[in-house]
Amino acid sequence: MSELKIKKRDEMNIQDQWKMSDVYADEQLWEEEIKTADNMLENIGKYEGKLCESIHVFKEALKFINDLEWKVEKVYFYANQKYHEDLGNSKYQQYAARSTELLTKYYAKTSFVTPEFLLQPKEKIFGYISQDDELSEYTRYFKDLYRQKMHVLDGEKEELLAKVSKFSNGSGEIFAVFNNVDLQFPVIKDEQGDDVKITHAKLNLLLESKDRSVRENAFKGLYGSYAQFRNTLAAVYINNLKKDSFFADVRNYSSSREMFLDDSNIPGEVYDNLIDTVGEHLHLLHRYLKIRKKVMKVDELHLYDVYTPLVQSYNKKISYDEAKNMVITGLGRMGEEYTGILKEGLEGGWIDVYENEGKRSGAYSWSVYGTHPYVLLNYQPNLNNVFTIAHEMGHAIHSYYSNANQTYTNAGYKIFVAEVASTCNESLLINHLIENSKDQEEKAFLINYFLEQFRTTLFRQTMFAEFENIVHKMTDEGETLSCELLCEIYYKLNQKYFGEDVVVDQEIELEWARIPHFYSSFYVYQYATGFSAAVALSKKIIDEGESAVEDYKKFLKAGCSDYPIEILKMAGVDMSKKEPVELAMKMFEQLLDEFESLAVGL
């Protein structure tokens, strides 16, 4: 199944690594850039108290701050990308630490800017903007700034909060190092009876095994490792919840959730509608799991049984080269321009492909303005990882279009829309594969795969969102949380979502303790809303063709030039309403009907 020994970074093939030299040709340039940024920070004080004394100073200050921010971001980006190659590398640990120090200093030194702007009458600021076309790019920034005025403190308090950020993200940093470096998982036997060490990257492959004992041992081995540190992990996470509650309180928000949603101007109803609408359709998930139990011919369906493909004979290994070709072909509907950018990314040093010792787990796309996007993978040879490529390249191409069509000020799109671009790619790919399936067995396998995307992205992420909603609300209201209470809340949610036909194994109560995104609070709901929007958009592209693609590209090019919900409307989806989630549920039910008819012959 997999080698027991994981390669070290210096043993990896260079062609399978991303080209960080595209950011800085050599590391001396990084050293020079961090020094330049630090010098600029020392000089930014010359604008304090003078930001708006004339249109000339106003324009000069905005350009200076933008240039400074870009340099700080680029330094931070490079250092952390190199750090993620091997979290145990002391050189890049220092690079990451230095870049974090610079970022913290940036926030502290620029803390006067927002309060000083907000002291000015709106008419004065927008009067300056109306007098100079080059200032028009800041319209959205100031519109948003005044919208959030009541949550911005005076300069002295903002500087203090900026300094607090030096350690306030410690919970997430501690968890990341623990989860990726210090935590060790056991060695178990694979299907051939060979030793294989459980790792983050190999976990899904083990849980997909056709051998039930491999699945069970992987599941129990995983959670047994976390269980040894359950109280420590609870303390770390509860600390993170308290940190969020503190910032929400001092910034005059009624709750932590309101604070995090307000950044993208997302109404609370969007969050509640998601949980409510998914909750109203849990009978469909329960029906799917009942079908799974029947197809698998088991007396009891356990949580370690829910990941294995129901059509085992099609569960073939897929090389990375095969995966790239599948993604290119599957996204053909997006046209030559889009697939051309896709090919450039797949072949042009954007991607770090395989797992190595100490490498950050999972997958992500990250970009910095002025350089092509980057994608981190830990590729394993299965269909799930093919879709990971499509997903992350969706993010990357979104960044590519946004950076190419917006100024630095307006290029950084919000997370709420980010998951739409990535998941739309996945939806187009799976639809292509189903349409071109060669026989009923292959079609059944692919439909089952798509059903699993609904289960893991729409249902599971909504369960995560409901968990976050509960524990953050309890913290905000001053209730005392403990490891036992976190486990109890999480276990009951699993019972609710999985239903009566699944044995909810006790080990799952600790799943909250291994979810990195819980340290990026109120993030995961966007996977579910993004999935719903993506399903609607992919259907539109399939049905309408080129005109829908052009509308979709308007959305990709928009960056953060407007609020996320308004930007999505450019592509034809209104996430302020229940319809996109309900449409996704309708598609899930249709796929369920089709799979059930095919499953008769399995």
Q: What is the tens place of the pLDDT at every residue in 348-385? A: 999 999 999 999 988 999 999 999 999 999 999 988 89
Helices (H), 297-360: 320-330, 335-347
Q: The domain 9-167: what is its CATH number?
A: 1.20.140.70
Percent of the chain with pLDDT over 70: 99
Using 50, 70 and 90 to split pLDDT, how confident is the model at 315? low
Instruction: Among 2-16, 307-321, 476-490, 579-593, name the most confident range.
Output: 476-490
Contact (Cβ atoms closer than 8 angstroms) between residue 455 and residue 288: yes
Minimum mean pLDDT range among 41-50, 146-155, 305-314: 305-314
Mean pLDDT confidence for 171-191: 93
Tokens of 244: 């969020």
Residue 248, pLDDT score: 96
Residue 201, pLDDT score: 81
Mean pLDDT confidence for 292-315: 89
Distance CA 59, CA 52 (A): 9
Query: Which has the closest alpha carbon to 334: 421, 241, 268?
Result: 421
Residue 438, pLDDT score: 84
Mean pLDDT confidence for 320-343: 97
Residue 361, pLDDT score: 87
Q: Given the residues 116, 392, 468, 509, select the one marked as catalytic.
A: 392
Using 50, 70 and 90 to split pLDDT, how confident is the model at 58? very high
To the query of whether residue 392 is one of the catalytic residues in this protein, the response is: yes
Residue 2 has pLDDT above 50, yes or no: no
Q: What is the tens place of the pLDDT at every residue in 418-467? A: 889 999 999 999 999 999 998 888 899 899 989 999 999 999 999 999 99
Percent of the chain with pLDDT over 90: 86
Tokens of 348: 């042009």
Contact (Cβ atoms closer than 8 angstroms) between residue 390 and residue 425: yes
Mean pLDDT confidence for 81-107: 96
Residue with tokens 């709106």: 122
Tokens of 125: 């600021």
Helix (H, G, I), strand (E, B) or coil at 206: helix
Residue 599, pLDDT score: 80
Using 50, 70 and 90 to split pLDDT, how confident is the model at 504? very high
Number of H helices, E strands in the chain: 26, 5
Residue 544, pLDDT score: 94
Q: pTM for this structure?
A: 0.81
Q: Domain ranges for the chain, please list them.
A: 9-167
Helix (H, G, I), strand (E, B) or coil at 74: helix
Q: What is the dihedral of CA 93, 99, 103, 105, to 10 degrees?
A: 100
Neighbouring CB atoms inside 10 A of 29's CB total 13
Mean pLDDT of the chain: 94
Residue 562, pLDDT score: 93
- Helix, strand, coil percentages (3-state) for the chain, rounded to 5, are 70, 5, 25
Q: What is the tens place of the pLDDT at every residue in 12-47? A: 999 999 999 999 999 999 999 999 999 999 999 999
Largest CA distance in the chain: 77
Residue 1 has pLDDT above 70, yes or no: no
Helix (H, G, I), strand (E, B) or coil at 196: strand
- Measured in whole angstroms, the distance separating CA 501 from the mean position of its chain's CA atoms is 31
Between 453 and 602, the more confident residue is 453
